[in-house]
């Protein structure tokens, strides 16, 4: 059977695979587009499986907010390189992922991967994209933030940092300012009450040991530790930090002045916590030379 350009184009539109791959698949199936689609997707899944062990520590953070500003989603979608993280196909997939989560009211990555994505599942779309781009692509994490008596706000710093904030008593500008502050200052907790007691105890032990090395009297050491603990809490809590747009004011003071409060926040940064492997090109070449 003769394989026409129109058939190749149709298969490309369905699968997103390259022209030569589509033509080859059609030749192998004697022009049966349905079987060709299935074979290309199987091939994509196989490629995805081979690439799944490769570290994907680059990528993008995406956010989405409901029309009533009561629900927001934040997701991290990873690629292996910054080059692919700027690719239009990758960006389209990443945007589709967070919109699919919003549309289907999804709260976990596992559920997200099984939901509809333009006639296929998100997982199928991911494997198709891997086959097309040639890199490991992962939907690493997803978080949903909901508030009833307030509003959510989001902020993106480029493609690498994203923040979602849920606040009460705040207008759009204040929520955005708080989200921007969180992106810049990376607090771990909202306030001191959220800090686990074991964290406080561990930090206090470290500070006491450091202070004792100074040789100062016990009462002086106690005051030193108290002061350093206050600084420690100020550094790691949102409300204790100096507001980035006005360092003379803490975030706690800013919120109080506006009769507002922060209920929850989520901050994602691309690749945080991922151990990036170091390529040893000499060893790789030697391994190939030895036939391994």
User: What's residue 46's pLDDT?
Assistant: 43
Taking domain 192-248, whether its CATH number is 1.10.286.20 is answered by: yes
**Helix (H) or strand (E) run with residue 261 in it:** strand 261-269
Give the contacts of 72 (CB within 8 A, at least 6 positions apart).
Answer: 63, 64, 65, 66, 144, 145, 152, 153, 154, 164, 166
277, pLDDT greater than 60: no
CB 90 within 8 Å of CB 132: no
User: What's residue 290's pLDDT?
Assistant: 54
CB 234 within 8 Å of CB 240: yes
pLDDT in tens, 163-214: 999 999 999 999 999 999 999 999 999 999 999 999 999 988 888 888 777 7
CB 225 within 8 Å of CB 211: yes
Taking domain 54-146, whether its CATH number is 1.10.730.10 is answered by: no
74, pLDDT greater than 80: yes
pLDDT in tens, 104-135: 999 899 999 999 998 889 998 998 888 888 88
User: What's residue 24's pLDDT?
Assistant: 83
Q: Which fold has domain 5-51?
A: Helicase, Ruva Protein; domain 3 (1.10.8)
291, pLDDT greater than 60: no
- Mean pLDDT, residues 230-242: 95
- CATH 1.10.286.20 in the chain is located at 192-248
CB 159 within 8 Å of CB 60: yes
User: What's residue 36's pLDDT?
Assistant: 83
| Helices vs strands, H then E, count in the chain | 12, 8
- CATH 3.30.479.20 in the chain is located at 54-146, 148-188+249-273
pLDDT in tens, 33-72: 888 877 776 666 445 455 555 767 899 999 999 999 999 9
C-alpha separations of 282 from 267, 276, 278, 291 in Å:
38, 18, 12, 14
**Domain 148-188+249-273 class?**
alpha beta
User: What's residue 35's pLDDT?
Assistant: 86
pLDDT in tens, 2-13: 888 888 888 777
C-alpha separations of 234 from 44, 119, 190, 194, 231 in Å:
50, 49, 10, 13, 5
User: What's residue 245's pLDDT?
Assistant: 95
- CATH 1.10.8.10 in the chain is located at 5-51
Percent of the chain with pLDDT over 70: 87
Q: What is the mean pLDDT of the chain?
A: 87
């Amino acid at each position: 059977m003769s394989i026409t350009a129109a058939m190749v184009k149709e298969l490309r539109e369905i699968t997103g695979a390259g022209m030569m791959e589509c033509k080859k698949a059609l030749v192998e199936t004697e022009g049966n587009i349905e079987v060709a689609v299935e074979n290309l997707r199987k091939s994509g899944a196989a490629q995805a499986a081979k690439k799944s062990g490769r570290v994907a520590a680059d990528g993008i953070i995406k956010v989405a907010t409901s029309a009533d500003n009561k629900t927001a989603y934040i997701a991290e979608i990873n690629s292996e390189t910054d080059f692919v993280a700027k690719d239009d196909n990758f960006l389209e997939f990443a945007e589709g992922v967070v919109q699919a989560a919003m549309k289907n009211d999804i709260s976990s990555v596992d559920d997200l991967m099984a939901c509809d994505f333009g006639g296929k599942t998100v997982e199928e779309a991911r494997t198709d994209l891997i086959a097309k781009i040639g890199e490991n692509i992962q939907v690493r994490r997803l978080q949903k933030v909901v508030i009833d008596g307030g509003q959510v706000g989001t902020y993106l710093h480029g493609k690498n940092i994203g923040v979602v904030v849920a606040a009460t008593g705040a207008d759009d500008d204040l929520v955005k300012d708080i989200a921007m502050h969180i992106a810049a200052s990376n607090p771990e907790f909202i306030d001191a009450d959220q800090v686990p007691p074991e964290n406080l105890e561990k930090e206090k032990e470290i500070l006491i040991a450091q202070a004792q090395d100074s040789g100062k009297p016990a009462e002086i050491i106690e005051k030193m530790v108290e002061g350093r603990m206050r600084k420690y809490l100020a550094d790691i809590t949102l409300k204790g930090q100096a507001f980035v747009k006005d360092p003379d004011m803490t975030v706690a003071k800013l919120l109080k002045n506006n009769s507002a409060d922060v209920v929850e926040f989520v901050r994602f940064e691309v690749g945080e916590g991922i151990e990036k492997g170091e390529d040893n090109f000499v060893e790789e070449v030697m391994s190939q030379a030895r036939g391994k």
